[in-house]
Amino acid sequence: MLEIRNLSKIYPNGIHALDNFSLDVGVGESVAIIGGSGCGKSTLLRLLSGLETPSRGESRLDGRVLREPDAQLNMVFQEPRLLPWLTVADNIGFGLRHLPSAERRARIDNVLEAIGLANYGPRWVKELSGGQAQRVALARGLVTRPAVLLLDEPFSALDAMTRTELQDHLLGLWNSQQTTMLLVTHDIEEAAVMADRIIVMQPFPGRIFEEVRVDLPYPRDRTSGEVSDLKRHLSNLLTRSLSEGRKLNRA
């Protein structure tokens, strides 16, 4: 469904941010991407979302080449990026302006309910806690029912408790909506509990180091032996990916 083929990005300053990245993601699949900072994770999502153009390679969604921002791919960032002069409902409904107002209202109410913020529609952004604001950002990403949700470290600015709460919440939404997710994170546990597959990346230039399939059912128990084993495995891979990246770079 989402086909990423040999994507490379060299920025005008000469930094080789992404090298020959290929990945196929199926409908409704959840793929996490982990890796040290600077290994091209955000670059990858920006290329997919049409915010940057690739130096080489291309991506396709259902056969269609992705060249510019596409209504079928929505991005959620680390910060909520809400518009402070709009209410919560209007922030969420921003991408629905083409719909008749009754349907727009119904969709907004629906997604507010789903993220646990029913009745928050008329509130102002500044009245929200950090966790609530990020919930609204998730709602805005989901309300247009995109085929693919791209998430760039969406919970890393939140405290640990809010983070796990939102991870569980997003998992529930993902389960009920069949959205395909590409989740960039540097939180190993987040990857371990949220993904069908985990891509470990390597820096200088950013590329795939290893892919890990996770065959554990959802929701996953964070305290279980399986999840602990997986976290240890991922942590080892990350350490190796960084040291091998450095070695290659010196060679």
Q: Which residues bind ligand ADP (CB under 6 A)?
A: 11, 13, 15, 17, 35, 37-43, 206
Contact between 42 and Mg ion by CB under 5 A: the answer reads yes
Q: Which stretch binds Mg ion (CB under 5 A): 34-42, 83-91, 103-111, 215-223?
A: 34-42
DSSP state of 117: -
Token output for 143: 């309300």
For residue 34, the minimal CB distance to ligand ADP (Å) is: 9
The smaller minimum CB distance to ligand ADP, of residues 42 and 180, is found at 42
- Strand order across the 180-184 sheet: 73-76, 148-152, 180-184, 30-34, 197-202, 207-213
- Report helix, strand or coil for 186: coil
Q: Is 91 in the site for Mg ion (CB under 5 A)?
A: no
Q: Which does 124 bind (CB under 5 to 8 A by kind): Mg ion, ligand ADP, none?
A: none
Name the segment binding Mg ion (CB under 5 A); options: 22-30, 36-44, 96-104, 221-229.
Answer: 36-44
- In contact, 215 and 229? CB cutoff 8 Å: no
If the CB atoms of residues 55 and 162 are measured against ligand ADP, the closer one turns out to be: 55
Phi/psi at 76 (5° precision): -120, 130
Task: Give me the residue label for tokens 């998430």.
Answer: 151
> From the list Mg ion, ligand ADP, none, which binds 146 (C-beta under 5 to 8 Å, kind-based)?
none
Under the binding rule (CB under 5 A), the answer on residue 43 touching Mg ion is no
- At residue 52, the 3 state secondary structure works out as coil
Question: 32, 143 in Cβ contact below 8 A?
Answer: no
Cα three-residue angle 6-210-247, rounded to 5 degrees: 90
**Considering the complex, what minimum distance in angstroms separates the CB of residue 41 from Mg ion?**
5
Q: How many angstroms separate the CA atoms of 176 and 114, rounded?
A: 10
Q: Cβ closer to Mg ion: 42 or 49?
A: 42
Binding site for Mg ion (CB under 5 A): 42
